[in-house]
């Protein structure tokens, strides 16, 4: 009910010209858009906040082109911010994690419109070409038609039946502690047999796999620059672990790049000011969050907000964020 009202309200505000006014008002601010994966099968039904259908992504990108938004690279945006001189209607496109679908679905659309973008790439699953363990576990439970399945043969404490409320999390926690990916794959294969969701099919579909080195090179050739997102998609404030996560991310990727990575995206958007000295030590220039904010010159470079777009976001909500109308509402609310 509230959602319906919100959508109606946004349409009304757009009709009354408030989106247009907001865009004029916030012309000199920077907008950073954030995407994750692109649907190849049913991923957006599985995690709507993480995936978007390519047709909708195409529509969004075409909208940016039609409405004459100025798509610039992240590095250019940083340079302009330092000079306190953003071009009008500047937008940066960012994509997190490095799913195969970025290569398969997003790249042709971006190339066609000649839009540059940044891919924040986690390195552990990069070039491994197997599904992310935690997502694959969740996906199997999402996909199964079975009920009441006995999971005791997995020998994971806390996950003895499909109906255990914590079963998924217990399997994920167990898998995380295993030493190798091969061991995790064995768990997924067993789980797939029990739940009747075939591991090999899932792997072959590559829906939950990250890109390979060859695909990363194709992305770079298509105008996508590769930046930091940690090795294992985790970034605690503990100095030693956080430093390892960035250094390992750099070691795995940097030697394939023309210039070393200097921009960072907090995994899952979790950030704190305690991270900032670690980022500075690593010569990082910017770090992006998942907080919806338009960017002005005074926003700290280590907490740059972004507009999240996914299957959960309707066109009118997208336009409300992009135009700055939502920013306007946030400012009023603050006051
Ligand atoms: Zn991420």
174-201 per-position pLDDT tens digit: 999 999 999 999 999 999 999 999 999 9
pLDDT band at 165 (very low <50, low <70, confident <90, very high): confident
Over 90: is that where the pLDDT of 158 sits? no
Contact residues for 239 (Cβ-Cβ < 8 A; gap 6+):
278
Q: Pick the more confident residue, 223 or 157.
A: 223
How far, in Å, from the CA of 204 to the mean position of ligand 1? 22
How far, in Å, from the CA of 306 to the mean position of ligand 1? 13
pLDDT band at 23 (very low <50, low <70, confident <90, very high): very high
Residue 194's nearest CA partner among 164, 149, 159 is 149
> Domain 2-127+208-334 is classified in which CATH homologous superfamily?
Glycoside hydrolase/deacetylase (3.20.20.370)
Task: Note the pLDDT of residue 290.
Answer: 96
* Per-residue pLDDT tens digits for 195-209: 999 999 999 999 999
How far, in Å, from the CA of 20 to the mean position of ligand 1? 32
pLDDT band at 214 (very low <50, low <70, confident <90, very high): very high
How far, in Å, from the CA of 243 to the mean position of ligand 1? 17
**Domain spans of the chain, in order of start:** 2-127+208-334, 133-205
Secondary structure of residue 6 in the 3-state scheme: helix
How far, in Å, from the CA of 265 to the mean position of ligand 1? 8
CA angle 24, 29, 34 (to 5 degrees): 115
pLDDT band at 1 (very low <50, low <70, confident <90, very high): confident
Over 90: is that where the pLDDT of 68 sits? yes
Q: Average pLDDT for residues 218-226, to the nearest whole number?
A: 98
DSSP state of 35: E
* Per-residue pLDDT tens digits for 224-257: 999 999 999 999 999 999 999 999 999 999 999 9
How far, in Å, from the CA of 229 to the mean position of ligand 1? 7
What is the per-residue DSSP string for 176-214? HHSS-HHHHHHHHHHHHHHHT--HHHHHHHTTTBBP-HH
How far, in Å, from the CA of 196 to the mean position of ligand 1? 29
Q: Pick the more confident residue, 54 or 160.
A: 54
The interaxial angle of helices 315-323 and 18-25, nearest 10 deg, is 40
How far, in Å, from the CA of 29 to the mean position of ligand 1? 25
Task: Note the pLDDT of residue 2.
Answer: 87
pLDDT-above-70 percentage for the chain: 100
Q: Average pLDDT for residues 45-71, to the nearest whole number?
A: 97
Average pLDDT, the chain: 96
Q: Average pLDDT for residues 48-73, to the nearest whole number?
A: 97
How far, in Å, from the CA of 48 to the mean position of ligand 1? 15
**Cα 36 to Cα 102: distance, rounded to the nearest angstrom:** 8
How far, in Å, from the CA of 136 to the mean position of ligand 1? 16
Q: Average pLDDT for residues 3-10, to the nearest whole number?
A: 94
pLDDT band at 335 (very low <50, low <70, confident <90, very high): confident
Sign of the CA dihedral running 200, 205, 206, 212: positive
Task: Note the pLDDT of residue 118.
Answer: 98
How far, in Å, from the CA of 147 to the mean position of ligand 1? 31
Lowest-pLDDT choice from 102-106, 261-265, 328-332: 328-332
DSSP state of 37: E
How far, in Å, from the CA of 122 to the mean position of ligand 1? 7
């Amino acid at each position: 009910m509230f959602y319906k009202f919100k959508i109606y309200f946004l349409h009304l505000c757009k009709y009354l010209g408030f989106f247009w006014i907001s865009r004029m008002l916030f012309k000199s601010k920077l907008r950073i858009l954030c995407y994750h994966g692109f649907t190849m099968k049913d991923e957006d039904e599985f995690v709507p906040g993480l995936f978007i259908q390519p047709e909708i992504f195409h529509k969004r990108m075409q909208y940016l082109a039609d409405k004459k938004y100025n798509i610039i690279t992240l590095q250019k945006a940083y340079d302009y911010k330092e000079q306190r001189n953003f071009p009008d209607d500047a937008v940066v496109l960012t994509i997190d994690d490095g799913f195969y679908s970025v290569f398969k679905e997003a790249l042709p659309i971006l190339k066609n419109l000649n839009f540059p973008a940044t891919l924040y790439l986690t390195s552990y699953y990069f070039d491994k070409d197997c599904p992310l363990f935690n997502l694959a576990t969740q996906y199997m439970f999402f996909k199964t038609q079975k009920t009441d399945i006995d999971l005791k043969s997995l020998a994971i404490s806390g996950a003895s039946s499909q109906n255990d409320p914590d079963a998924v999390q217990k399997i994920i926690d167990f898998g995380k502690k295993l030493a190798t990916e091969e061991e995790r794959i064995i768990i997924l294969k067993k789980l797939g047999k029990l739940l009747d969701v075939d591991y090999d099919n899932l792997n072959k579909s590559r829906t939950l796999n990250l890109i390979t080195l060859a695909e990363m090179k194709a992305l770079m050739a298509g105008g996508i620059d590769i930046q930091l997102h940690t090795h294992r998609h985790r970034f605690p404030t503990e100095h030693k672990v956080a430093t390892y996560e960035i250094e390992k991310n750099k070691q795995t990727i940097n030697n394939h790049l023309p210039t070393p990575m200097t921009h960072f995206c907090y995994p899952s958007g979790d950030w704190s000011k305690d991270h900032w000295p670690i980022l500075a030590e690593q010569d990082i220039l910017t770090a992006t969050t998942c907080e919806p904010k338009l960017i002005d010159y005074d926003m700290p470079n280590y907490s740059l907000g972004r507009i999240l777009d996914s299957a959960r976001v309707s066109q009118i909500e997208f336009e409300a964020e992009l135009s700055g109308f939502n920013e306007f509402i946030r400012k009023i609310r603050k006051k």
